[in-house]
Amino acid sequence: MDKRMAGKGKLLIIDDNEELLFALQLFLNSHFAKIDTIKNPNQLLSQLEVDEYDVYLLDMNFKAGINSGNEGLYWLKRILEFDANACVVLITAYGDVELAVKAMKEGAVDFIQKSWDENKILSTLLSALKLRNSKLEIKGLKEKQKQINHQINRNTQFVRGTSKAMTEVFRTVEKVAGTEANVLIVGENGTGKEVIARELHLSSHRKDQVFVSIDLGSLSDNLFESELFGSKKGAFTDAKEDRMGRFELASGGTLFLDEIGNVPLHLQTKLLTAIQNKQIVPLGGNTPIDVDVRILAATNCNLFEMVSNGTFREDLLYRLNTIAIELPPLRERIEDIPELADFFLHKYADQYQKGECVFEKSAVKKLSQHSWPGNIREFQHIIEKSVILSDTKKLAAVDVLLGEELQLPKKISDSLNLSDNEKFLIEKAIKHTGGNMSLAAKELGINRSTLYDKIKKYDL
Contact 290, 330 (CB under 8 A): no
- Interaction of residue 193 with ligand ATP, rule CB under 6 A: yes
The Cα 155–Cα 153 span in angstroms is 5
- Interaction of residue 203 with ligand ATP, rule CB under 6 A: no
- Interaction of residue 334 with ligand ATP, rule CB under 6 A: no
Q: Which of 183, 196, 194 is nearest to 217 (CA)?
A: 194
What values do phi and psi take at 14, rounded to 5?
-120, 110
Stretch that binds ligand ATP, among 4-12, 19-27, 184-192, 269-277 (CB under 6 A): 184-192
Number of amino acids touching ligand ATP (CB under 6 A): 16
- Interaction of residue 377 with ligand ATP, rule CB under 6 A: yes
Considering only residues 143 to 162 of the shown chain, the ones binding ligand ATP according to CB under 6 A are 158-159
Which residues face 35 on adjacent strands? 11
Work out how close the CB of 262 gets to ligand ATP at its nearest, in angstroms, rounded to a whole number.
Answer: 11
Q: Which of 401, 400, 392, 404 is nearest to 437 (CA)?
A: 392
- Interaction of residue 67 with ligand ATP, rule CB under 6 A: no
Stretch that binds ligand ATP, among 168-176, 188-196, 350-358, 394-402 (CB under 6 A): 188-196
- Interaction of residue 380 with ligand ATP, rule CB under 6 A: yes
Distances (CA, A) of 230 to 223, 235, 274: 10, 10, 12
The Cα 77–Cα 84 span in angstroms is 10
Work out how close the CB of 192 gets to ligand ATP at its nearest, in angstroms, rounded to a whole number.
Answer: 3
Q: Which of 59, 194, 225, 227 binds ligand ATP (CB under 6 A)?
A: 194
Q: Which of 146, 126, 65, 135 is nearest to 107 (CA)?
A: 135
- Interaction of residue 350 with ligand ATP, rule CB under 6 A: no
Distances (CA, A) of 257 to 230, 239, 377: 16, 24, 19
> String of b and e for 390-420 (b: at least 16 CB within 10 Å)?
bebeebbbbbbbbeebeeeeeeeeeeeeeee
Q: How does DSSP assign 254-308, residue by residue?
A: EEEEETGGGS-HHHHHHHHHHHHHTEE--BT--S-EE---EEEEEESS-HHHHHH
Residue nearest to ligand ATP (CB): 192
Residue window 216-255: x/- pattern of binding to ligand ATP, with contact defined by CB under 6 A:
----------------------------------------
Work out how close the CB of 392 gets to ligand ATP at its nearest, in angstroms, rounded to a whole number.
Answer: 24
Q: Which of 72, 187, 245, 253 binds ligand ATP (CB under 6 A)?
A: 187
Stretch that binds ligand ATP, among 33-41, 192-200, 237-245, 416-424 (CB under 6 A): 192-200
Work out how close the CB of 74 gets to ligand ATP at its nearest, in angstroms, rounded to a whole number.
Answer: 54
Residue window 270-299: x/- pattern of binding to ligand ATP, with contact defined by CB under 6 A:
----------------------------x-
- Interaction of residue 190 with ligand ATP, rule CB under 6 A: yes
- Interaction of residue 304 with ligand ATP, rule CB under 6 A: no
- Interaction of residue 192 with ligand ATP, rule CB under 6 A: yes
If the CB atoms of residues 69 and 190 are measured against ligand ATP, the closer one turns out to be 190
Distances (CA, A) of 404 to 92, 409, 410, 431: 82, 10, 12, 10
- Interaction of residue 329 with ligand ATP, rule CB under 6 A: no
Contact 71, 116 (CB under 8 A): no
Work out how close the CB of 198 gets to ligand ATP at its nearest, in angstroms, rounded to a whole number.
Answer: 8
Stretch that binds ligand ATP, among 15-23, 186-194, 249-257, 424-432 (CB under 6 A): 186-194
The Cα 339–Cα 159 span in angstroms is 7
Work out how close the CB of 219 gets to ligand ATP at its nearest, in angstroms, rounded to a whole number.
Answer: 14
Residue 38 amino acid letter: I
- Interaction of residue 373 with ligand ATP, rule CB under 6 A: no
Q: How does DSSP assign 396-445, residue by residue?
A: -GGG---GGGGSPPSS------HHHHHHHHHHHHHHHTTT-HHHHHHHHT
- Interaction of residue 325 with ligand ATP, rule CB under 6 A: no
The Cα 207–Cα 293 span in angstroms is 12
Work out how close the CB of 209 gets to ligand ATP at its nearest, in angstroms, rounded to a whole number.
Answer: 20
Work out how close the CB of 347 gets to ligand ATP at its nearest, in angstroms, rounded to a whole number.
Answer: 9
Q: Which of 133, 145, 179, 300 binds ligand ATP (CB under 6 A)?
A: 300
- Interaction of residue 189 with ligand ATP, rule CB under 6 A: yes
SS3 call for 19? helix
Contact 246, 289 (CB under 8 A): no
The Cα 118–Cα 37 span in angstroms is 18
The residues of the shown chain that bind ligand ATP, judged by CB under 6 A, are 158-159, 187, 189-195, 258, 298, 300, 376-377, 380
